Copies of this chain bind each other. A is one copy, B any other.
Amino acid sequence: MNFASDNWSGASAAVMQALARTNGGFVPAYGADALTAAVRRRFCDIFETELDIWFTGSGTAANALSMAAAARPGGLILCSADAHVWHDEMGASEFFSGGMKLIPLASVHGRIAPEALAEALERFAPGSRTGIPTVLTLTQASELGTVYRPDQIAALAAPAAASGLVVHMDGARFANAVAASGATPAELSWRAGVDIMSFGGTKNGCWAADAIVVFAPEKFGDIAALRQRAGHNASKARFVAAQFEAYLADGNWLATAAHANAMAQRLAPGITGSGTARLAWEAEANEVFAVLPDAAGERLRAAGASFYPWPTDGIDLQPTEELVRLVTSFATEPVEVDRFLALLGEA
């Protein structure tokens, strides 16, 4: 009953086989190989546009190097108050960008509120000595398990672009968002105004496959140099390429994401129907946020369930309740979900 994080799972069978397949022989290092080129082509097909792609060693690196590529002195990065870049990356974006300041904006269940963005663009208008708004970053699917629709992205990206910002998407769970929304990758990214994206495969069936996808290269600095200087240009890049090749082939990436989402959809109504627990808000992708009575939390953990408590900013809880995050992945099995729900219902 593992719901701690989607990065506690291993790799999918398809990815494993691709790694074995690519292992033999001698191949040019640092991405100058045919497989890396083929993967770029595949990304172009999937996103229906020409684009640049840069593998990185982690999602944090993809995010922070994207910020660095857009950096300017005194720059501000506007993000959700729930953003991974703010909460979970030990200041990576600040460091790589030479000290840009992150400005957390109010969100509605993980999605930045348009009025919060408007207020920030006005507050930091030209002449501000706080800094110069430079990047807007959105997380898709969001850290709170919700998904931006294309029009919701555009409603943020358009005013940001009008104020001269570039738009970044943290797509650590982009596959889950595509699978959940029914929109195409293009509709959820550049067509809605996204200029650059951190595209994550690691949480959804790869071992270590993250990349920066650049839709508007003219807006960014020299990512090749930034990445090499950061030690994120893997010498044996073919092994990253092999993961992406298998991940993106035959719709694998959407199949594993759809499975993860389905497991969340199996979990959510069970929580609602449990009588004691409840959903904190609607689960749209592969993360379920639930309010548990303390007794249920203890019982589940004692039975071996893994999951993390979550900060409760803005959530009304009883003194005997806790807010928890339950993450499903490509490897989550229905029987584990059912066992979790059965234990929950034993109140």
Contact = CB atoms under 8 A, between A and B. Distances in A.
Nearest to A20: B16
Interface residues of A, number: 77
A101 interface: yes
21 contacts: A5-B29, A7-B29, A10-B236, A26-B331, A57-B231, A58-B232, A58-B233, A60-B231, A63-B231, A65-B231, A68-B73, A74-B90, A74-B91, A74-B225, A74-B226, A75-B91, A90-B131, A92-B230, A92-B231, A132-B222, A231-B232
Interface string A9-40: 11100001001101111111100000000000
A228 interface: yes
A86 B129 CA distance: 9
Most chain B Cβ neighbours within 10 Å, of A24, A27, A229, A311: A229
Given A58-B231, A58-B233, A225 B73 contact: yes
Nearest to A210: B231
A4 B235 CA distance: 13
Contacts of A230: 61, 92, 95, 230-231
A208 B10 contact: no
Nearest to A239: B207
Given A2-B26, A235-B58, A99 B89 contact: no
Number of copies: 4
Contact of A90 (B27, B94, B229): B229
A239 B236 CA distance: 15
A238 B23 CA distance: 19
A234 interface: yes
Contacts of A5: 29, 235
A306 interface: yes
A90 B61 contact: no
B129 A228 contact: yes
